[in-house]
Amino acid sequence: MSFIAEKKRTGEILDCVGDAILTTNLDLEVTYINRTAEILIGIKQDEAIGCPVRQILRVVDADTRQPRGEDLARKAINTNTLIPLENNALLINQLGCELSIEDSAAPLHDLDGSVIGAVIVFHDSCYSSEIRTKMANLARHDPLTGLFNRYAFDERFQQSIELARRHKKRVGLLFIDLDNFKDINDILGHASGDAILKALASRILNCLRSSDTACRYGGDEFVILLNEIEQLSDALMVARKAHALAANLMLPDGQKVGINLSVGVSVYPDDGETLDMLIQQADMAMYRNKALKKRSREVSLPNIQVPAT
């Protein structure tokens, strides 16, 4: 097995571990975090790698509020010994939440036995597994609509691309924007605006397959990922369904509202092979949609755009 394949396999194994794992180099810069650490700290692995551990792992003593995450790693490196499990520690994650944790550290060695860094292992010491599951769910979903957030959407995109490559299929991406949503908020109020977003999110899910993914990308923006489609027309069909559903929304108070959407569509690999490229292409197509409707003044007519060729 190649080094890269072995490294990927090791990462997959560590992602299944219930404890959070973070490794550093001798300069106390983060070199790896597993999935549990991502969830508890509130940061993606690629954002954490290369950063000082004190910036990513903000651990303080629960009584004195003195920092200790970096000290733990430095002590393991300097003494070349295991630093036993300690309690009475608080993790202040990237969202500003404080979690009671227990942590320990150990030195990392190369094949010659030289110390090359440290590994810090920690876990939530007070929450039940049920609460941890809820926290993990909140870390991956938009709190208003329940749809995936950008972090989780990025993960699903990578999975979709791997499947598409393996099965020689395409992946469709729809970028959806609500027309004149600011006016809706100003006229009806933000509570009604939130209710409309929730109702639209629910209807969007109803027109997707279980293998597809919907994400609330911004305030009034949604992105849909369509797995293993055959051609562009498959994505356009879903876009038309979304238009029709948005035109007839039912709010919790029984009120019926109709919302106009602008939709841009891009397809992997035709329009790009990365998420950023596909988002950019679909976003530009969506804005061409808005411009066409503005010029024609036919804002109620579905006008789905695809990337310019």
Is-catalytic flag, 220?
yes
DSSP the chain: --HHHHHHHHHHHHTT-SSEEEEEETT-BEEEE-HHHHHHHT--HHHHTTSBHHHH--EEETTT--B-HHHHHHHHHHHTS-EEEEEEEEEE-TTS-EEEEEEEEEEEE-TTS-EEEEEEEEEESSS-HHHHHHHHHHHHB-TTT--B-HHHHHHHHHHHHHHHHHHT-EEEEEEEEETTHHHHHHHH-HHHHHHHHHHHHHHHHHTS-TT-EEEE-SSSEEEEEEEEESSHHHHHHHHHHHHHHHTTEE-TTS-EE---EEEEEEEETTS-SSHHHHHHHHHHHHHHHHHHHHHHT-TTS--EE----
Cβ atoms of 106 and 138 closer than 8 Å: no
Cβ atoms of 57 and 71 closer than 8 Å: no
Active-site hit among 220, 234, 253, 271? 220
Task: Find the helix packing angle between 190-206 and 181-188, rounded to 10°.
Answer: 130
- Locate 199 and state its tokens: 């109702």
Q: Which residue numbers are catalytic?
A: 220
